[in-house]
Structure 1
Amino acid sequence: MLEPAQAPGHDRPAAPRSAVRAKRVLVVGGTNFDIIVRTERLPEEHEKLRGGACSALPGGSAANTALGLARQGCAVRLVSAVGDDTLGRVCLDDLRAGGVDTSLVRTDTTARTGMAIVFSSATGKRMMTFAGADRDAAVAAVTAEAVCDVDHVHVVGEPTPPLTRVVALARQHDRSVSVEWNGRDMSALARGSAALNLMNADEARRLPEASPHDTAATAQRYAESLAGEVIVTLGPDGALWASPGRRPVHVPVRPVEPVDRTGGGDAFNAGVLAGWLSGAPTEECLRRGLESALHVITKIGAHP
């Protein structure tokens, strides 16, 4: 059994299951190793450009969110995959040191650990990824017992049959679900199953039914069509929360000078989810997410 960590509770009648105790979360998605280079621009052809700083550390959206949730007081089990190599062992050691249960992380003896190379500046980032170990086998191995042993399931990644099956198990056993859209249209997976849908403003603008230049209208439209919550980060403008039948809630963020945006969205997700699972009001959940993100983006290579 997954033992719950200790975390402060909040009283709210609409909170998910068992709001009086700390929550147990199953996080499903990718783990990789990040190499982050701080630069003001990308190099030209044959140019050797000197970066301002460099960081190499474990990453991946699901792994980052799992660590963030553990640091927010949740008991977290990660479903993912790494290669049978040094980088994979570094990633697993980092997760375990951060309080994440890695018993459902598959070590693939036929592939290397995934990697991401990030070129980061104060105004944005560019990323190249290497998929590495295939996590579908780990996701396919998730049992109904593993889902029943948690309160909430958070998923990241393409809506493959194994991931769709895990979400279906969560619905079948009355567990709440959150979906990180991560640049994809996850409507097929989220509709009727996801309590929380998390994305950033750039991702929202690229959705098929997006309203040009009106992120709040886009979020509201998807909240209504999905019958779920849609939460969007707005960069320096904070974040908003859209619910079916209600006006979107907007929370601003204190101004900072970003150093590296890598992992900021994952940290935001962890803060929001931890707040929501504890029964905190919507505005407080957004504030927790924004403060968690600020902790990450004001450093280079910072963990959530």
Structure 2
Amino acid sequence: MSGVVTATRPGPVPGSGKVLVLGGTNFDVIVRAERFPEEHEKVRGNAYTALPGGSAANTALGLARQGCDVRLVSAVGDDALGRLCLDDLGAGGVDTSLVRVDAATRTSMAIVLSSGTGKRMMTFPGADRDAAFDAVAEADVRDVDHVHFVGEPTAPLARVVGLARRYGRSVSIEWNGRDMSGLAAGPGLNLMNVDEAARLPGADPDDAAATARRYARQLSGNVILTLGADGALWAGPSGEVVHEPTRAVDPVDRTGGGDAFDAGVVAGWLLGEPPSACLRRGLTAALHVITKIGAHP
């Protein structure tokens, strides 16, 4: 796969880097084992960690590490885990003034079983993100250059995306296994992994590039797929595809790898870099995360 792709504009002014990130914040408990247990089987883990996580929170931290000015819109409970999450984000340079602290519920949690090459996850919903999205004002959107989001395509999230489009802010969407077509039409970045893309309506499960091209044309935007050990590809709406390879590694834990990739790609996009450079930036960030346990540096 090759060709010259011009990233679809209008987009951010090169060099701008104020980003509003919307989505989940939770506390992760990650257990590392050589393989997953069978029914009624006990498998001994060889490492574990417990630390703040969540796709949006991880991406916000990744963007801050890339040098962006980041403000997170999310929700946590008024509990010890919520305070740990907020402290972690603040220490990482993320503005948490739009994170809602809900006194009536707990912070969301994720339990992750990781085998290095694969993972299984169980999530426990907590604080209401939609209430945080509802509180986003027009001024909050006008104050940034770019809006990135991950989550269910709910009405409160759609409202913020609509504001971003109205005020000419560029948009990136982590599809995260969902069909986000209803919110994704127009210039911007649509991020997903190859397995998620293969499950989309009308996808060609044997041809990731064809699926990416189809959705890029359909959305009039850019579609970026991670391909695991094969790197990543970028499809523009005019049909060209750029493929960027990655170096082979033995992953320790894949948790947060996609979030780090998203942060690298978005940061490159905000700097005005071409698709190949954006992909390299994202792949480098992902490699840094998946070669250790937990999504933090």
Q: Into which bin does the TM-score normalised by the smaller protein fall?
A: over 0.9
2:51 is the counterpart of 1:51: no
Partner of 1:249: 242
Structure 2 counterpart of 1:187, from 181, 184, 209: 181
Partner of 1:18: 13
Structure 2 counterpart of 1:275, from 264, 268, 279: 268
3-state SS of the aligned residue for 1:27? strand
In the superposition, the TM-score normalised over structure 2's length comes to 0.95
In the superposition, the TM-score normalised over structure 1's length comes to 0.93
Greater RCO structure (CA 8 Å; 6+ sep): 2
Deviation string, structure 1 residues 188-215 (Cα, Å, up to 9, x no partner):
11113x5000000000000011013100
Given that 1:15 and 1:278 are in contact with CA atoms closer than 8 Å, whether structure 2 keeps it comes out as no
Whole-angstrom CA distance in 2 between matches of 1:15 and 1:190: 14
Amino acid at match of 1:218: T
The offset of 1:26, in angstroms, is: 0.1
The offset of 1:301, in angstroms, is: 1.1
Deviation string, structure 1 residues 251-304 (Cα, Å, up to 9, x no partner):
000111100000000000000000010011110000000000000000011316
Given that 2:18 and 2:70 are in contact with CA atoms closer than 8 Å, whether structure 1 keeps it comes out as yes
Given that 1:14 and 1:279 are in contact with CA atoms closer than 8 Å, whether structure 2 keeps it comes out as no
Classify 1:302/1:156 alpha carbon distance in 2 versus 1 (closer, same or farther; 3 Å): closer
Unaligned 5+ segments in structure 1 are 1-11
Deviation string, structure 1 residues 168-227 (Cα, Å, up to 9, x no partner):
0001111000110000000011113x5000000000000011013100000000000000
Identity level (%): 72
Deviation string, structure 1 residues 27-56 (Cα, Å, up to 9, x no partner):
000000000000122334444321010011
Whole-angstrom CA distance in 2 between matches of 1:144 and 1:238: 37
The offset of 1:13, in angstroms, is: 11
Amino acid at match of 2:228: G
Unaligned 5+ segments in structure 2 are 1-6
How many positions carry a matched residue from both structures?
291
Amino acid at match of 1:239: A
| 1:1-304 alignment runs, 5 A limit | 16-19=11-14, 21-192=15-186, 195-303=188-296
Given that 2:61 and 2:94 are in contact with CA atoms closer than 8 Å, whether structure 1 keeps it comes out as yes
Classify 1:161/1:302 alpha carbon distance in 2 versus 1 (closer, same or farther; 3 Å): closer
The offset of 1:22, in angstroms, is: 3.8
Amino acid at match of 1:54: Y
Given that 1:67 and 1:95 are in contact with CA atoms closer than 8 Å, whether structure 2 keeps it comes out as yes
Partner of 1:6: none
3-state SS of the aligned residue for 2:277? helix
Given that 1:25 and 1:151 are in contact with CA atoms closer than 8 Å, whether structure 2 keeps it comes out as yes
